[in-house]
Chains A and B, each alone.
Chain A
Amino acid sequence: MYAFTYHRPTTVRQAVGLLGKNEEAKLLAGGHSLIPVMKQRLAGPPVLIDLSKVEGLTGVEVGARSVTIGAMMTHSAVARSVELQQAIPALAGVPGSIGDPAVRARGTIGGSLANNDPNADYPAAVLGLGATIITSKRKIAADEYFQGMFTTALEADEIITKIQFPIPKKAAYQKFKHPASGFALVGVFVSKRGDDIRVAVTGAGANGVFRVTAFEEALRKRFAAKSIEGMTVPADGLNSDIHASAEYRAHLIAVLARRALADAN
């Protein structure tokens, strides 16, 4: 690991100021993506800004039409939230499938979204529910937020503070878990909220999470597995690696979408 210095701000404002002063600084949330890549020297930030002491980045607030989750909420804290389980059970189920219990005790929702790993689960939930990323300077719609593998709309001096999820009428997440890593080989999040129908896929796209618009169109008439019966997704542009071919991932997308739709109804 390369040497670094660190800061422990207590307010978002301080953290933003530190980011502005240190161009190559990295924010440290749960550290379960950043510390492993620092060990491998794939990342060597000269400055770390630890967010664990920053006030106001935790909690789950359930409103009439949306649920807002603090960026520093750990996966286990989100999974345990009874209010969230009642408001959006499909979302409450997502963090419980990440990593293992000890990883979930440290990893955070904001960290996962800032990292935007192409196999992570939360990006599917955020895009699949049409959530809004609230940062230190603005609100970013999910459709604009994800910009490719490990790439987001976040600017260099911008910090995710909260994520706001609209409460859907129906929603479900289905994941084909890599048996060793627990990451999504493919994960499909489906939701319906009025006219907004979403099918978001993680784990499969060469550019990270994406929506399957053909499925969404077909689901407009009726939000049910039957509406996409026999439909397939082209393998072009999907990941192919030692774990699965692009064709297999394409197959999984259709299967998991149907299962998610069955689950959501």
Chain B
Amino acid sequence: MAAVAMTVNGKAVTGDVDPRTLLVQFVREHLRLTGTHVGCDTSQCGACLVHVDGKAIKSCTVFAWQLEGANVTTIEGIADPSGKLHPMQEAFRDNHGLQCGYCTPGMIMSAIDMVNRKGNDLDDHTIRQELDGNICRCTGYHNIVKAVAAGAKAMKGSSAPAQAAE
């Protein structure tokens, strides 16, 4: 078994898991944070995106024990504790940036990471390029792109943290 200790959404968590346990399995099945999804399980679709030490990564392609001491943020960790949504979540709602919603947590985590790396003024071309690793099987990309652009602008001057507990 593998002893795992990390911070998830600002809370210290530990676990004793099979070494084969992927981060996404640890988060979903051990911590019961099921907002992070498994889409393809082949590091292509991005439904499993979480932030690790401030960077978006695919949680299906890393073992939980590799992240000893890391600071992990999942989709559950980005809204204000009062329940007020993160500006990027709000933008996805306002722009109807989803159809079935399965890819949405990954899209939002990807979009926040995009803003962290590329700033608040994102053109459509940049957004489409940067969403390369997120697949929407409903093919609802048009509104997703609109939502990311609006969310990026809304994050400017917002008090919402780019990551929880940072």
Contact = CB atoms under 8 A, between A and B. Distances in A.
Nearest to B130: A101
Interface of A: 1, 3-6, 8, 28, 31-32, 35-36, 39, 48, 50, 52, 76, 99-103, 105-106, 182
B114 interface: yes
B63 interface: yes
B42 interface: yes
Assign chain B's interface to a size class. Answer: 20 to 34
Given A3-B20, A102-B133, 4 more contacts: A35-B62, A36-B43, A39-B42, A106-B57
B66 A4 contact: no
Given A6-B2, A100-B133, A102-B110, A35 B46 contact: no
B61 interface: yes
A36 B42 contact: yes
Contacts of A48: 19
Contacts of B65: 6
Interface of B: 2, 18-20, 22, 41-43, 46, 49, 55-58, 61-63, 65-66, 68, 110, 113-114, 117, 130, 132-134
A6 B18 CA distance: 11
6 contacts: A3-B20, A4-B19, A32-B43, A32-B61, A102-B110, A106-B62
B46 A102 contact: yes
A183 B22 CA distance: 25
Residue among A4, A50, A106 with most chain B CB within 10 A: A106
Given A1-B20, A32-B43, A36-B61, A101 B66 contact: no
A105 B61 contact: no
B110 A101 contact: yes
B41 A39 contact: yes
Nearest to A2: B20
B19 A101 contact: no
Contacts, number: 66
Nearest to B131: A100
A5 B41 CA distance: 22
Residue among A28, A50, A100 with most chain B CB within 10 A: A100
B20 A100 contact: no
A48 B43 CA distance: 20
Given A4-B20, A52-B66, A103 B114 contact: no
A101 B56 contact: yes
A105 B130 CA distance: 13
A52 B55 CA distance: 16
A106 B42 CA distance: 14
A126 B147 CA distance: 40
A6 B62 contact: no
Contacts of B58: 102-103, 106
B117 A101 contact: yes
Contacts of B63: 6, 31, 35
Nearest to B114: A101
A3 B68 CA distance: 20
Contacts of A50: 66
A103 B46 CA distance: 10
Given A35-B62, A105-B57, A5 B133 contact: no
Contact of A31 (B20, B55, B61): B61
A182 B133 CA distance: 10
Contacts of A5: 19
Contacts of B117: 101
A118 B44 CA distance: 19
Q: Across chains A and B, which 9 residue pairs bring their CB atoms closest together, nearest first?
A: A100-B133, A100-B132, A105-B55, A102-B56, A102-B133, A102-B58, A1-B20, A35-B61, A105-B57
B56 A105 contact: yes
B132 A101 contact: yes
Contacts of A35: 22, 43, 61-63
Contacts of B57: 102, 105-106
Contacts of A1: 20
A117 B22 CA distance: 24
Contacts of A106: 57-58, 61-62
